[in-house]
Structure 1
Amino acid sequence: MSSQRLTGLLCAVAGATVVSAFALRAKRRGAGVEATGAITRALNARDHGAPARSTLLPAPRPSGVQTHIEAARRFNHSSALLALSVLADSAMEHYRGSFDNPAMYTPLVSATLSLLAGLHGGRDDRQETHQLRHAIYLAAAVAGIAGTGFHFYNVTKRPGAWSWNNLFHAAPVGAPMALLLSGALGAVAEQLRDQPAHDPRLLGMPAGRALGLLVSAGLIGTVGEVALLHFRGAFQHRAMYAPIVVPPLAAALLAQAALAVPRERWLTRLWLRVTTALGFVGAGFHVRGIARRQGGWRNWSQNLFSGPPLPAPPSFSALALAGLAALRLRESET
């Protein structure tokens, strides 16, 4: 190839490159002008009182709707976790009791329905009560109250009635209250959905306050049952003091946040998260307690019934998660 032809080819390539660069720059400048025009039109529409429809970002959902519906969904999740704990615990304990009374099947059915309702409600963002879920939650609460009565009767009919031996080895008095709490958490979640976004209220008070007080009471009741069982175990491990120290402080902080003027409560949020972790860590300790019994997990069919109750500790996690939802709602109230 001659030098003249090579020079001409290089010039042609260079010219094409320059033309392409100018074309790309013009195209980008045109896109920038179109974006600037869209923003300008949106600002002008806002200034003239018309609704601004930006083609760049989707319109955000109202923050009030997000807050109280999200709180309701979290309460549905907490109810489901608590129902799962009740289902596993009652299935084991009532199986050990050979289902002597047909009523012993009731908590299994009720807890299963409450679990399914909680999972369904946790994915539902509707702003109205789901009537079937609400009925299931109310039935679970009634079953919890009836179960508490049955367990009281089981203690009193034994020789010695209200004695330490009967409280330790008869039907656990506080266990059915977990089913009552599961139903209560789910029921208030459904009622919360019917409330106006700008001012949700329950029981004649701001919803965040009512939910915070409910969760605080639930934590205190759960602590009472755990304290009795760990006292029966003679607090053989120092970690057994944790569930009777950490949750009461969380309940006190949450109650104080519910009753005081709404504001940011970082310490309450931190302690509720510690309580959430405590429930899962406690389940790990119970796994270890079962493994340390004679035969360990190889003898699971016996040690699951005679060892520490494996499904019990996550109830703290369920209530603490509900407390976090109540706290978030309370902080948004005025």
Structure 2
Amino acid sequence: MPFVLTDALERSANRNLPAPLSAAVTTALEHIREGCFQRSLCLVVATTSVASGLEVGYEHYRGSYSNPIMYTPVVLSGMLAGAGLAGAFSGVAARTVLRWVSVATLADGIIGFFFHIRGVARKPGGWSLPVTNIVMGPPIFAPLLFGTSAYLGLMASYLRREEDSNRIAGRLGEAVEAGSSDWRINLRYGRFQKHLSALTVLWAFFSGFEALYSHYKTNFRYKAQWTPILLAPLVMAAAAGAVKSRRIANTALPIVSALAMADGAVGFYYHARGIVRRPGGMKKPLYNTLYGPPIFAPLLFAACGFLGLMASLLRREKR
């Protein structure tokens, strides 16, 4: 019988945790497996949108908002946070407002990626000095990483509510549509492990590349700055393997994804400490946050781990 991570976690929770806590863990795992976690994911979208909005807000402030389009991700992140909160309380809002705000935010990330590439090309020497201009120019993959929350929001808009897992109609609907290969049906019933694993490969590459040249700027002053560089290829390899193998998706992927999340949390601490250690420390919070290490950047790397971990808990597509 193949190893299934959610089944193993449920057995472990029942053996080692008190009854109320084990029941909560089992219920949460069942909701994820069946695609019934719309409300929870909406709250995640709202929280991550605030963090990414603050990050892009002060990064563009450093660029003096020289192009009016630099305001769009700041505005859209606030809209996405509001839509995520609305989706947590209303299934209709999740299927309408959250969905279309997420699509608009994803489109804005793609447009921002084009402008960042153009920004690198317009620096002295352009692409004939790729390393120098990528390091010193606008963060090239940051607009795509900004779309992480939006992608989660789009995903949440197709999921079912937590209470739907206990409804007979929902179970009958799953039985009827179990053979469908439509991606919307797969999302609705929690069958998108391969899809999310493939997405994790891309996001791990983007976040690893961002960490590489960001830490290169400081000449890798601390040994801890190498950890996301080393972990990103491991996450990519595990996620790519998870697309092909259910066993890898239930073993290697959750391990390296959990390490990526932990590394992002540690990186957040180091970046916060770097801000505090700047001249003036917390007496000049705004200035030091603007010109110190990007405080929320490590959390984007942690978000990559979150995608991989979530993928490991889902079911595989029928085809």
TM-score (normalised: structure 1) = 0.71
Name 1:248's counterpart in structure 2: 233
Match of 2:245 among 215, 237, 260: 260
Query: 2:126 is matched with which residue?
Result: 161
Q: Secondary structure at the match of 2:198?
A: helix
Q: Is 2:125 the partner of 1:140?
A: no
Give a deviation string over 1:1-48, Cα, whole Å, max 9, x none.
xxxxxxxxxxxxxxxxxxxxxxxxxxxxxxxxxxxxxxxxxxxxxxxx
The 8 Å contact of residues 141 and 180 in structure 1, kept in 2 or not, is answered as yes
Find the aligned partners of 1:171 and 1:218 in 2 and give their Cα distance.
Answer: 18
Quote how far apart the aligned CAs of 1:167 are. 2.0
Aligned to 1:182: 149
Corresponding residue for residue 173 of structure 1 = 140
Alignment of 1:12-31 (within 5 A): none
1:150 deviates by 1.3
Query: Matches of residues 165-244 of structure 1 in structure 2 within 5 Å?
Result: 165-193=132-160, 197=174, 199=178, 203=183, 207-244=192-229
Which is greater in Rg? 1
- Deviation of 1:96 after TM superposition, in Å, equals 2.1
Change (3 A) 1:273 1:217: same
Q: Quote how far apart the aligned CAs of 1:233 are.
A: 1.3
Alignment of 1:291-306 (within 5 A): 291-306=276-291
Please state whether the residue corresponding to 1:220 is helix, strand or coil: helix
Counterpart Cα distance in 2 of 1:193 and 1:214: 21
Compared CA separation, residues 94 and 302, structure 1 to 2 (3 A): same
More helix as a share of residues = 2
SS of aligned partner of 1:310 = coil
Quickly say closer, same or farther: Cα 1:123–1:226, change in 2 above 3 A. Answer: farther
1:138 CA drift (Å): 0.3
Shift of 1:213: 1.2
Percent of paired sites with the same residue: 28
Q: CA deviation at 1:309?
A: 0.3
Aligned equivalent of 1:287, options 248, 272, 275: 272
2:7 corresponds to: none
Structure 2: unaligned runs, 5 residues or longer: 1-25, 162-169
Contact 1:208/1:333 (<8 A) preserved: no
Shift of residue 305, structure 1, vs aligned partner: 2.1
Aligned length: 273
* Aligned-CA RMSD value: 3.3
- What one-letter code is carried by the residue in structure 2 that aligns with 1:233? T
Moved over 6 A (4+): 331-334
Tell me how far apart the structure 1 counterparts of residues 290 and 94 of structure 2 sit (CA, whole Å): 39
